[in-house]
Amino acid sequence: MANTTLFENPASQTLLIPLIIRAREGSHPKSLFRDKAAEDVVTRLPAEMFSFSMHPFMRAGTAVRIRYFDDLTQKMLASAEKPVIVQLGCGLDTRFARTDSGKGVHINIDLPEVIAMRREILPRGSERDMDWAGDLLERDWMDRLEREYAGHQFLFISEGVLMYLAEDDVRKLLSDIADRFPGSHIAFDTAGSRVARVINKKSAVKELKAALNWVYDDDGRLDSWHPGLRRLERAYYFNRFRTRWGILWLVHYTPMGKSSAMFHFLVEKKPGSEAA
């Protein structure tokens, strides 16, 4: 049985899933990246912490998701003059180490218990890679971003997080970002009802005593949540990095293949507003 007492919040416990997947991805014959920091962290943690089951779909899908958001990050770092990458619910991710171009800053935001663990086991690689303790359902971190990074260009990434929240909280979070950070980019992933049923019934998530709450079946309602949100991309998992999926990519042509996706939105600026 997997260790389930690492964090008070069950959703925080699920950070162990992408951690072990990142640590193992470099050894895959068709790997999408290598995460040496994750490899090092896993070797220093008790093996029983990772005793949960791992379905091939989850391993491949998580690797695809990580690579997708890494690519978005690198594009933002290359195109923006003063980029700020904000990871909402960062867990133990080490995106800075995988994507740093020498420009901009990365701000990793998560609950205090998660940030405490990050500071304990992740090496401090750069002053431009910062950890902030905060609750995504509060707005103190938004106040701080506005205060300390006015005039910067933001990419907000929430990876493997929003589906653990209530839909009303997700909608308010995205709307508040849109209201306060015009010109910013927002990227996140969703889980459809078919996927959520499987994960909540039998998966590593269930073994870690967490559950998906918000499901989104790509019915278009995201596009109407805020007048400033303009969808730039909807990327289905099984249609990305097909060589990594192998034969499993054929699931793309089934209802399950379009049950979950990764989204990239732009917050359009109001007419006459100054650059963010």
* pLDDT one-digit tens code per residue, 208-220: 999 999 999 988 9
pLDDT-derived band at 1 (thresholds 50, 70, 90) equals very low
8 Å CB contact between 113 and 131: no
Using CA atoms, how far apart are residues 201 and 191, in angstroms rounded to an integer? 14
- The pLDDT mean for the chain works out to 93
Mean pLDDT, residues 135-146 taken together: 97
Q: pLDDT higher for 154 or 256?
A: 154
Residue 118 in this model has a pLDDT that exceeds 60: yes
Give me the sign of the Cα torsion angle 62, 63, 64, 66: positive
pLDDT at 110: 98
Mean pLDDT, residues 159-169 taken together: 97
pLDDT-derived band at 86 (thresholds 50, 70, 90) equals very high
8 Å CB contact between 123 and 63: no
Rg from Cα positions in the chain: 18
Nearest in space to 51 (alpha carbons), one of 94, 12, 8, 4:
4
pLDDT digits (tens, 9 = 90+) for 22-46: 999 999 999 999 999 999 999 999 9
pLDDT-derived band at 276 (thresholds 50, 70, 90) equals very low
Residue 4 in this model has a pLDDT that exceeds 80: no
DSSP string covering the chain, please?
-----S-SSHHHHTTHHHHHHHHHHTTSTT-S---HHHHHHHHTS-GGGG-S---HHHHHHHHHHHHHHHHHHHHHHHH-SSEEEEEET-TT--HHHHH--SSSEEEEEE-HHHHHHHHHHS----TTEEEEE--TTSSHHHHHHHHHSTT-EEEEEE-S-GGGS-HHHHHHHHHHHHHH-TT-EEEEEEE-HHHHHHHHHSSHHHHTT----------SGGGGS-TTEEEEEEEEGGGSSHHHHGGGGGGGGSGGGGSEEEEEEEEPPPTTPPP-
8 Å CB contact between 157 and 188: yes
8 Å CB contact between 133 and 112: yes
pLDDT at 5: 61
pLDDT at 10: 86
By three-state DSSP, how is residue 146 classified? helix
Q: pLDDT higher for 262 or 269?
A: 262
